[in-house]
Amino acid sequence: EVQLVESGGGLVQPGGSLRLSCAASGFTLSDYNMNWVRQAPGKGLEWVSYISGSGSTIYNADSVKGRFTISRDNAKRSLYLQMNSLRAGDTAVYHCARGLYYKESGWYFDFWGRGTLVTVSS
């Protein structure tokens, strides 16, 4: 069974940093592209970052460029999101979401974690 479990969320002051983790199980992490998607309280979904299976290709939403860094450690079956210079607008539940098998073309997220809440407030 595919499982994605996020951790690392919490309350942080504006300008602060936080590192999120996503533990993957039930599949070979290195075979899949991975993403972070966030959802502000009561709002819709917003794609944040993408990383290819090998980690060689990374895409980021304009809203987080230069502040957030996605990375992965396939040996540890983990995905990460380093978030710096946090703003109130970054307050959201952050979901880890599995993308496509590395040999396939396309764009969708077939498994999601339940998310971890990040609150940016003084």
Partner 1 sequence: QTALSQPASVSGSPGQSITISCIGTSSDVGGYNYVSWYQQHPGKAPTLMIYDVSNRPSGVSNRFSGSKSGNTASLTISGLQAEDEGVYYCSSYTSRTSGLFGGGTKLTVL
Longest dimension (CA), the chain: 45
Would you give the binding string for partner 1 spanning residues 38-77, x where CB under 8 A is met?
------xxxx--x--------xxxx---------------
* CA atoms of 38 and 47, how far apart (whole Å): 6
Residue 31 has phi, psi (to 5 degrees) of -85, -10
In the bound state with partner 1, the residue whose beta carbon lies nearer, of 27 and 109, is: 109
* Contact by Cβ (8 Å): 109, 99: yes
Contact 107, 120 (CB under 8 A): no
Closest CB to partner 1 among 62 and 75? 62
In the bound complex, what is the minimum distance in angstroms from residue 114's beta carbon to partner 1?
5
Q: Is residue 109 involved in binding partner 1 (CB under 8 A)? A: yes
64/76 Cα distance (integer angstroms): 25
CB 50 within 8 A of CB 33: yes
Q: How far is the CB of 59 from partner 1 (least distance, A)?
A: 5
Q: Could you say which of 9, 12, 22, 35 contacts partner 1 (CB under 8 A)?
A: 35
Task: Please identify, using beta-carbon distances, which residue of 27 and 59 lies nearer to partner 1.
Answer: 59
Q: Which residues bind partner 1 (CB under 8 A)?
A: 35, 37, 44-47, 50, 59-62, 95, 106-115
